[in-house]
């Protein structure tokens, strides 16, 4: 599985952009404003570091506020971190880093309590204890939720209130472009483009010796996703261009139950939380048959990759493009109190789950892989850290256990703040490479839709050697755009999507087996002899040009040897 894949220069080089026209000085710059980014920023600021938050849109426009189901932690009577660990390892299909999972589950309960102390309000029962539910892959009720199905929105609200109270400087409507480095190759800040609002405008920089990437996922690489429009893989692409290693990028989790809006629907789709199944909803086909019975001991509450595959197989058997989620037995009162957000979304699209089954189909949801980090969030580039969905800590393995993501954001963001304090990173003056000619290598914004359709067909829920080879060839081909691409947010985002898509396809080609949420039709079974390892990738440049280096490793944590140049 070790290999070198030649890449076009347009994929591997820095984004064509004007030189920064202004700069902010800081000790730490956090890129992203979800649960991971805000937690890291709060902790760094509390430690006395001058911290700046850079966010792509408004502070609350990331993926966190869309999280419905909740946050998983051993908070209930009789539950233990060890049981949470066991469920996480099973869901990860043999690729979780046990050390990272142990850190998550042991530090998680206290992290949730600190979040509550910060002001987050979770749902409670008549006795005042947290109301806990189950989701797929969990053998116990351990999912804490807020507002019924608005957990992410409540967590985001509480963290943003704390950020404002701490008066942390923020730069909104800003797309991070590339990492600044000093002469020794250490992180020295980021360049960014502010999109016409606030006291900064155009391309500028935040100079800081500690850079924390918390930009969320890359769901927009596919046609249908639960991710918001800002989830274009910016952090992973920035890290790759900076020479950082990424791991497990082939493991993209497709949520089994996304509201099916028709075969032509594209972009962000409404999520039907796994908590709906946790409360007793059934997956059925058009005849009302519960097809998950007998496929797994947990039936509809099996890990997400198993449920997504079960739905896809049943769709193939029945020659249709969706299945149904039946929760009519909940009744109107339960729908209105427990799942008001989902109920409103369904009714907005003409579907009433109180009286009819809800049409559902899998859609891209969560990236289990990302920028490779150690257990303190350090990447392979000194001074560069990553947390949340942007990072690959080893927690998720080949398939994320439901509701572990918000907890990972909390726990590992706190660990990053500790690492920044202990590392006390220093950087010399940033060395800015000369900008390339305007528009060099930039795909036009119009290429985005074609890329998404290409990835959905070639590297979606179902993959094969042939489909991946076709996707790779198309991604490497010179752009045949109708008009030259101009530097700007839309073209930069499309360039980021193209880069992460190309790396995803390369590692998916290298993993010739089915494992977790990586499903190869031409290799339908797991290959434990060769597949129980991680695939690490990095961009490298030599006299021969740019290439992607891929090698296997036993652990996502490092150091365990460099990528083969």
Find out whether 179 and 206 touch, Cβ atoms under 8 Å: no
Residues assigned a catalytic role = 304
CA dist., res. 549 & res. 565, Å (int): 6
Torsion sign across C-alpha atoms 24, 30, 34, 38: negative
Question: Which residues contact residue 170 at a Cβ distance below 8 angstroms, ignoring those fewer than 6 apart?
Answer: 33, 52, 53, 54, 55, 59, 163
Straight-line distance from the first to the last Cα atom of the chain, in angstroms, rounded to the nearest whole number:
15
Cα(172)–Cα(58) distance, integer angstroms: 6
Contacts of 115 (CB under 8 A, 6+ apart): 155, 158, 159, 410
Within 10 angstroms of residue 350's Cβ, the number of other Cβ atoms is: 7
**What distance in Å separates the CA atoms of residue 32 and residue 55, rounded to the nearest whole number?**
5
- Both tokens assigned to 130: 């947290």
- Do residues 21 and 202 touch, judged by C-beta distance below 8 A? yes
Q: What does the block give as tokens for 211? A: 């850079």
CA distance 421 to 86: 32
CA-to-CA separations, 132 to 70, 73, 104, in angstroms, rounded: 9, 10, 18
């Amino acid at each position: 599985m070790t290999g070198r894949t030649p890449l076009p220069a347009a994929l591997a080089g820095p984004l064509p952009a004007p030189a920064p026209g202004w700069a902010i000085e800081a000790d730490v710059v956090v890129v992203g404003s979800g649960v991971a980014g805000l937690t890291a920023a709060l902790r760094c600021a509390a430690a006395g570091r001058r911290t700046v938050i850079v966010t792509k849109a408004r502070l609350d426009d990331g993926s966190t506020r869309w999280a419905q189901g909740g946050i998983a932690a051993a908070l209930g009577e009789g539950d233990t971190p060890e049981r949470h660990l066991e469920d996480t390892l099973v869901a990860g299909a043999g690729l979780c880093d046990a050390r990272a999972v142990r850190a998550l589950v042991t530090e998680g309960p206290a992290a949730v309590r600190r979040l509550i102390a910060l002001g987050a309000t979770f749902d409670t029962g008549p006795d005042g204890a947290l109301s806990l539910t189950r989701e797929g892959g969990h053998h116990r009720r351990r999912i804490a939720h807020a507002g019924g199905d608005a957990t992410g929105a409540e967590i985001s609200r509480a963290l943003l209130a704390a950020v404002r109270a701490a008066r942390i400087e923020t730069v909104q409507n800003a797309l991070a472009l590339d990492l600044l480095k000093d002469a020794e190759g250490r992180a020295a800040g980021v360049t960014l483009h502010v999109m016409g609002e606030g006291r900064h405008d155009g391309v500028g920089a935040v100079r800081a010796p500690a850079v924390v990437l918390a930009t969320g996922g890359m769901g927009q690489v596919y046609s249908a996703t639960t991710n918001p429009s800002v989830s274009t893989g910016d952090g992973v692409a920035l890290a790759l261009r900076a020479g950082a290693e990424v791991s497990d990028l082939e493991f993209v989790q497709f949520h089994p139950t996304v509201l099916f809006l028709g075969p032509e629907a594209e972009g962000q789709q409404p999520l039907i939380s796994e908590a709906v199944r946790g409360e007793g909803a059934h997956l059925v086909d058009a005849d009302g048959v519960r097809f998950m019975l007998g496929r797994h001991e947990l039936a509809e509450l099996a890990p997400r990759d198993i449920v997504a595959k079960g739905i896809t197989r049943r769709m193939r058997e029945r020659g249709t493009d969706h299945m149904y989620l039946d929760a009519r037995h909940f009744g109107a009162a339960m729908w209105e109190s427990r799942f008001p957000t989902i109920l409103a979304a369904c009714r907005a699209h003409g579907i009433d789950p109180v009286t009819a089954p809800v049409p559902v189909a899998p859609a891209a949801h969560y990236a289990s892989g990302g920028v490779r980090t150690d257990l303190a969030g350090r990447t392979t580039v000194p001074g560069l850290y990553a947390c949340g969905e942007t990072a690959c800590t080893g927690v998720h393995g080949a398939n994320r256990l439901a509701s572990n993501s918000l907890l990972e954001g909390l726990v590992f963001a706190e660990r990053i703040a500790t690492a920044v304090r202990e590392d006390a990173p220093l950087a010399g003056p940033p060395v800015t490479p000369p900008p390339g000619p305007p528009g060099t290598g930039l795909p036009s914004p119009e290429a985005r839709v074609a890329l998404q359709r290409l990835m959905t067909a070639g590297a979606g829920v179902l993959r094969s050697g042939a489909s991946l080879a076709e996707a790779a060839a198309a991604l490497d081909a010179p752009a045949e755009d109708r008009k030259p691409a101009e530097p700007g947010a839309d073209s930069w985002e499309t360039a980021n999507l193209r880069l992460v898509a190309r790396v995803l396809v390369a590692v998916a080609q290298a993993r010739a087996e089915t494992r977790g949420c990586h499903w190869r039709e031409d290799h339908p079974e797991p290959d434990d002899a060769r597949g129980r390892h991680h695939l690490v990738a990095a961009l490298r440049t030599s006299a021969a040009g740019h290439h992607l280096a891929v090698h296997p490793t036993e652990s996502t944590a490092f150091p365990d040897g460099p990528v083969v140049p």
